[in-house]
Chains A and B, each alone.
Chain A
Amino acid sequence: MEEKLTLFKNRKRFGIEKNIDIIFKNTALVLSSFVAIILLGIILVVFFQSFESFSRYGLKFLVTSEWNPVKDEYGAFTAIYGTLVTSFLSLLITIPLGVGTAIFITEDFVPKVVREIIGSFVELLAAIPSVVLGLWAIFVMEPFFRAFFVFLHNFFGWIPLFSTEPTSRNSLLAILILVVMLLPIVTSIARDSLNQVPKKLRNAAYGIGASRWKTIFSVILPAALSGIMAGVLLALGRAMGETMAVTMIIGNSNAFSWSLLSPGYTISSMLANQFGEADGSQVSSLFYAAFVLMILSLVVNIFAQWLVKKFSLKY
């Protein structure tokens, strides 16, 4: 009996230490449930605020482009289209660029010093405030690309995406500035996940006579895919939610056009533009648009996770 009791007491662990354990555990629990509570709170508020608009316009809100506070008519199609097209096209450009850069700086094509310098420059890119990027886009990028946009319109005008004369504020500029913002996210996360692929997998591939490219594309990249995808998702969230730089350059027009060369709108830039002076059903409509934005990113997230499950190699 005596002996058994000693198991309940540890001479080295005093009561106070045990109490600290318990306190720590409970504090952590409370703090972490805050995250869930805040998330739920946001969703609920957005949902209830948008209720009025939702019951009035229903799903028509999603497919019409009328946005007229005077007549109380609201439709967010232009902004939804703008959000989807800017975020997907910017990702489409960023992914090969970012993953390519990541491959370049994790393989030994060039000396290590050069790779490290390139890597840190890419990361510094993330440190530039988006308002500065917006200014840069207006004063440097737009004049720089003007001739190219005209060329796009002249030669590819038959494609709806380039069917209008380029204006000085347009969706394509927003896409390009988004690429600049997403690049450091995709690159640094892709680089980390490429670095984490065990060296023995690389040896395995080389050991059976695989070329460097075969090794990268058939073994290393698939093994790093889930990490890279996490980076892409993060970037997508950024692209959908990015407000400042996009608002500065996209032109903020609710007149719908398929063309990327004419002014456009995104949900985020619409919210930023209109919340100041909105009232009544306009506020509710803006919340409705915000709700749509949240649903969009949720759907994309789920889809992407399914994609990762399907294609990644687990080691």
Chain B
Amino acid sequence: MIKTNKKTQKNIILSLENVSISYGTFEAVRNVFCNFKKGNITSLIGPSGCGKSTVLRSLNRMNDLIPNCSLKGTVLFDGTNIYDKRVDPIEVRRRIGMVFQQPNPFPKSIYENIAFGARINGFAGDMDELVESSLRKAALWDECKDKLNDSGYSLSGGQQQRLCIARTIAIEPEIILMDEPCSALDPISTLKIEETMHELKKNYTIIIVTHNMQQALRVSDMTAFFNAIEYEDGDSGKVGYLAEFSSTKKIFNSPKEKTTQEYISGKFG
């Protein structure tokens, strides 16, 4: 990628600088500044509709797929604005992988689910080895090593989600984005995925949207609390903004903002 802006601060891998995102004329989030540290797990929390998914999708240009979605401001990845005209969004998505809220394996075999992404990204090594190591990292190997040729859809919901994580790991991204990856899962699968995340933290930076406070508390180093308010100049409802961003401990123990306190104690959301 092209270097356009040298960020001096070390181990900041991704940063949002004055980012506002709109759907058509409706502004969903406004003026977000946020730095994501390398090797950290950062959670994005906040009430429904405040723009967490919108922000997350903007980090690897998945928003490009939504026809009327537009972004102002800069998103710096490794010092490069990923919205620069010269940047190839496909390369961005390869280096910043995404796991979606609904498990979405390809309707192919378990093996092929992982091999497919690796292959299109030019992986030339030992595919069997890659499949195994990816499945191991996603804590799924033991459960499916004997049925790698079965359809990805033959797995349970939790296993499918771990397959999707494995698939993302296989393309060796630097950052993994997760949008409520456990919201369709039972508590045991959820714990498994959280363990997986702890494991992944050694090699990857993870940014996760979650509605589960306990989960944010358990897995993340940093927490960003988003909120939505009615702006005076706004004519189209609530606009999301980053209300507070700090270490997870601080957010949950001694938040600066009153709304943060109210949200984490369950007063709204």
Contact = CB atoms under 8 A, between A and B. Distances in A.
B108 A209 contact: no
B68 to A, nearest CB: 11
Interface string A190-219: 000000001011111111111100100011
A307 B140 CA distance: 33
Given A203-B100, A314-B153, A315-B153, A209 B107 contact: no
B104 A204 contact: yes
B100 A200 contact: yes
Contacts of A207: 60, 62, 93, 97-100, 168
B4 to A, nearest CB: 21
Interface residues of B, number: 28
A204 B65 contact: no
B1 interface: no
Interface stretch (B115-123, B201-209, B232-240): B115-123
Nearest to B64: A206
Contacts of A289: none
A202 B100 CA distance: 12
Contact of B94 (A203, A208, A218): A208
Given A207-B100, A209-B117, A209-B120, A202 B171 contact: no
B125 interface: no
Contacts of A205: 106
A108 interface: yes
A201 B107 contact: yes
Contact of B105 (A108, A204, A209, A210): A204
B24 interface: no
B107 A203 contact: no
Counting chain B CB atoms within 10 Å of each CB, the highest count among A210, A211, A214, A314 belongs to: A210
A210 B106 contact: no
B121 A209 contact: yes
A214 B102 CA distance: 22
A219 B106 contact: yes
Interface string B40-82: 0000000000000000000010100101000000000000000
Interface in A162-199: 198
Contact of B97 (A108, A200, A208): A208
B100 A218 contact: no
B106 A214 contact: no
B163 to A, nearest CB: 11
Counting chain A CB atoms within 10 Å of each CB, the highest count among B65, B153, B164 belongs to: B65
A223 B107 CA distance: 8
A313 B151 CA distance: 10
B94 A209 contact: yes
B143 interface: no
B111 to A, nearest CB: 15
Contacts of A201: 104, 106-107
Given A223-B107, A314-B107, A203 B153 contact: no
A79 B50 CA distance: 68
Contacts of B108: 313
Contacts of A313: 106-108
Interface string A208-243: 111100100011001100000000000000000000
A223 B171 CA distance: 22
B191 interface: no
Contact of B151 (A108, A209, A210, A314): A314
Contacts of A202: 65
B120 A210 contact: yes
A198 B102 CA distance: 11
A106 to B, nearest CB: 13
Contacts of B84: none
A315 B99 CA distance: 18
B91 interface: yes
Contacts of A315: 107, 153
A70 B105 CA distance: 67
A304 to B, nearest CB: 20
Nearest to A111: B67
B2 interface: no
Nearest to A203: B100
Contact of A218 (B67, B93, B102, B116): B116
Nearest to B108: A313
Nearest to B91: A209
A201 B167 CA distance: 13
Given A208-B94, A208-B117, 8 more contacts: A198-B104, A201-B106, A204-B104, A207-B97, A209-B91, A209-B120, A214-B120, A314-B153
24 contacts: A200-B100, A200-B102, A201-B104, A201-B107, A203-B65, A204-B106, A206-B65, A206-B93, A207-B60, A207-B93, A207-B98, A208-B94, A208-B121, A208-B168, A208-B171, A209-B120, A210-B90, A210-B120, A211-B120, A214-B120, A218-B120, A219-B106, A313-B108, A314-B107
Closest 9 CB pairs of A and B: A209-B94, A208-B117, A313-B107, A200-B104, A207-B98, A315-B107, A204-B104, A209-B93, A208-B171
